[in-house]
Structure 1
Amino acid sequence: MTLYPDNLENTPVTNQIVVRCRKGDVRAYRELYEAYSKAMYNICLRMTGYSADAEDVLQEAFVQVFKNLDKLATDSSLTAWIKRIVVNHCLSYLRKKKVYFEEVGETEYEEENKVDESEHAMTVSAVKEAIGQLPDGYRTVINLYLFEEYSHREIASLLGISESTVKTQYMRAKERVRQLVKIKTREV
């Protein structure tokens, strides 16, 4: 039985799986893992940039999920709780790799340039490929902002850097993605 987070959040099925996990039911652990692992793997892959690293981080995160299920409040969102654990493990991995975030002053941050994006044939695969080519710091910020929907302030807090640095990293990452996609579309 395959379950998906979008359609099982806070349902009796989900609550039953959590209760069974808390009682040590091995099958329930597997069901929970199967329900969430694909979505969480995608987060890990976007954040780490490498499938082997993503798999390792995912496994470590789920070990923590299983160890701490008893700490999950019954009215909490299971998906958000698991996602927070996964993102934190990804950030720990990146810190161990010593990902560099260039600290900038408030004056270096410029407002977004309005670009007619329709002139670029931005396909999903080209954008994903371009994001995968970004330096770790840029990739981390753009993934947290665009895909995980964290605010600049939340990202700054998670990474221990200033909000202006997050904004600058995001703007530079976006511009680099545009450049890489533009190059890619010329090649095609």
Structure 2
Amino acid sequence: MACKNGQQRAQATVYDMYYKAMYNTAYRIVKDAMEAEDVMQEAFLKAFSKLDSYRGEVAFGAWLKKIVVNHSIGRYRMLMAQSTNPLEEVLYKVEAIDDTDDEANDYTNMKAQKVLEIMATLPDNYRIALTLHLVEGYDYDELCEILEVSPGNCRTTISRAKESLRNKMKLIWN
């Protein structure tokens, strides 16, 4: 792979393929556009410098996403430790999914957008767990490793987060 040899053109091609998805992943966790951009850039730098450790056991995108998620959680924890009032940061704008002319897709996208906005109001541990599980597709074993929690704690957190999300959705849609 040309990226392993440090060829900038190859690295730029890989960056172009993945930057948008990796930015969105980081943004959903850190809740700040500038921080998400920084996290994404740092993750790409780390990935390119650690390409020798990529063994191809999983897709490159999955390997890169794990780096982004780990950096995002670390950055988010650091920001929360520095923050004097994390409640001010609970609500954040979720970027629009994709504009389309199809009315059915527009309605579905609006509902998905609303669910993501409601998720943004959940407590941080619920929001991050649900984002990683439902949006990013991590299974329970991966979540336990990423969040550094026991399997029982992970399942309880996901269950409570889903219940909280359902309750908030009922209030809005009823």
TM-score (norm 2): 0.73
**Which protein is bigger by CA-based radius of gyration?**
1
Match of 2:12 in 1: 30
Distance change (3 Å), C-alpha of 1:51 and 1:69: same
Match of 2:103 in 1: none
Match of 2:171 in 1: 183
Q: Is it true that 1:88 corresponds to 2:76 in the alignment?
A: no
1:76 positional shift: 4.8
Taking only the aligned residue pairs, the percentage that are identical comes to 37
Q: Is it true that 1:69 corresponds to 2:57 in the alignment?
A: no
Match of 1:161 in 2: 149
Deviations 1:46-89 (A, max 9, x none): 22222222212111111101111233225652112111111111
SS of 1:54's partner is helix
Match of 1:111 in 2: none
* Matching residue within 124, 138, 160 for 2:126: 138
CA distance in 1, matches of 2:146, 2:58: 21
AA aligned to 2:126 is: Y
SS of 1:20's partner is coil
CA distance in 1, matches of 2:58, 2:154: 28
AA aligned to 2:35 is: D
Instruction: Tell which has more relative contact order, 1 or 2 (C-alpha 8 A, sep 6+).
Output: 1
- How many residues align? The count is 147
User: 1:2-151, aligned counterparts within 5 Å?
Assistant: 19-73=1-55, 76-97=58-79, 123-151=111-139
Deviations 1:144-175 (A, max 9, x none): 21122222233122222222221222122212
1:94 positional shift: 2.9
SS of 2:149's partner is coil
Native 8 Å contact 1:57 1:90 kept in 2: yes
Native 8 Å contact 1:43 1:87 kept in 2: yes
CA distance in 1, matches of 2:151, 2:58: 28
Distance change (3 Å), C-alpha of 1:170 and 1:74: closer
Question: Superposition RMSD on alpha carbons, in Å?
Answer: 2.3
Native 8 Å contact 1:131 1:139 kept in 2: yes
AA aligned to 1:150 is: Y
SS of 2:143's partner is helix
TM-score (norm 1): 0.68
Distance change (3 Å), C-alpha of 1:33 and 1:179: same
CA distance in 2, matches of 1:36, 1:138: 26
